Structure formats: structure tokens, C-alpha cells
Amino acid sequence: MDSITVAYDFQSVAPYSPNAQNSSLYCYNTNQYTPTYSNTNGVPGATETLLHKGLMIANGTYPGGTEITILLDVWRSFGIANCGTSEQYVADNTFTITLYHSDPYEVPKVGINTNNPEATLDVNGKLRIKDDMT
């Protein structure tokens, strides 16, 4: 895993301002958190679209079939006690995670002087093969 991108819409409910919205992401596989993202402005009842690119909380190499588990934690820094969706919420169907990965690096192996080469040698042009015993 090289990085992740996370996007979601954070909706405030009027008359509550989105300026108290906070969020953080946690990866269970690596036990890592992102910094807290805080909204410091906005209009009551507004939707704030959050996009976090290049996050490295899930970076690493995993065996095939591994499930990567990411938690989105959202809260308000002030408001009514035990507020829930009455003050803010992540809008339905807006939470997306995109995982970026590259193929693992393997040392190239050339199929010369072997009976069963692990890879072939593609030649674009000429290849001269000479017997070194002469």
C-alpha cells in the first residue's frame, strides 16, 4: 500500500455552524491515526466536502486477502451534550476511500545460462551470443 485518498461530505444542521466539526481517520492494520481535521468556518446548515489525499496511515505490505480497515471518527468541539445527527453528520453515500498500491519490486532475472529461467529476456534489436570457450 502506497497511500490512500479519503473523501466525504460533512453536513451541519441549521442553526448549528459547521465551524465545530472535527474528524480523524484510523487504520486498524497499522494502528495509526491521521491528524485531526477541524473546520473553522462555514454557514449553519452547510455541507463541507472534505478531501484528504496522500494519506500514509495504511502504508505497508500485506499478504493477499488482507482486509484494510479504516475508521472515520467525527465529532463536534462544542454543542449540545451527546449531540448526534441532530447537529451534524456525514452525508449518506459520500464516504469513499481510494487505495493506491504498486506492484512489489522484484529483482529482474534473465533467462540466460539457466535451464528453467524465471523470466524471459526480451530483446529489441540484436543479441550476440558468443561461446566464451573459444
Check residue 1 and give its pLDDT.
86
62-95 confidence digits (pLDDT tens): 887 889 999 999 888 776 656 677 788 899 999 9
Q: How far apart are CA 100 and CA 49, in angstroms?
A: 21
Helix (H, G, I), strand (E, B) or coil at 22: strand
- Looking up cell 524465471 gives 118
Check residue 21 and give its pLDDT.
84
- Which residues in 28-86 belong to E strands, given as ranges? 32-33, 37-38, 47-55, 70-76
The answer to whether the beta carbons of residues 45 and 89 sit under 8 Å apart is no
Determine the distance from the C-alpha atom of residue 21 to the mean position of all C-alpha atoms in its chain, rounded to a whole number.
Answer: 22
pLDDT confidence bin for 120, thresholds 50/70/90: low
Q: Where are the domains of the chain?
A: 3-100
Percent of the chain with pLDDT over 90: 32
Nearest to 7 by CA among 54, 46, 45: 54
Identify the DSSP state of 124: S
- Looking up cell 486477502 gives 65
Q: What is the Cβ-side half-sphere exposure of residue 76, based on CA atoms within 13 angstroms?
A: 22
